[in-house]
Amino acid sequence: MVSTANIWTTIAVLCVGTVAIKASGPVSLGGRQLPQRATHVIALVAPAVLASLVAYETFANGSDGITVDARVVGLAAAAIALTLRVPIAFVVILAAAATALARAL
């Protein structure tokens, strides 16, 4: 259990920050545009962060270090489903099912 003060502080700051991030484009853009070099970098932030999170959520074990466990099976199932253009709702369910199956075996 994490300390209560830390939990609420994290939630509050994350909320304010997220609201500000989401509001900034709609509020500030009256047809204005960012410099092209900036948009090139910004456009790559999402793939960089998402790819990192895929690795982080698949291999992190809660302390330090890398763990290879049944989550890898789930991720592989998700990858196959995505290349077959399976809808996202089924992709996440398939990933969970594949992981559960791998743990049961």
Structure tokens at 76: 């592989």
Contact map string, positions 12 to 41, toward other proteins, x by CB under 8 A? -xxx-xxx-xxxxxxxxxxx--x-xx-xxx
- Positions in 43-62 near other proteins (CB under 8 A): 43-60, 62
For position 80 contacting other proteins by CB under 8 A, the verdict is no
Compute the chain's Rg from CA coordinates: 19
CB 58 within 8 A of CB 72: yes
Number of residues that bind other proteins (CB under 8 A): 82
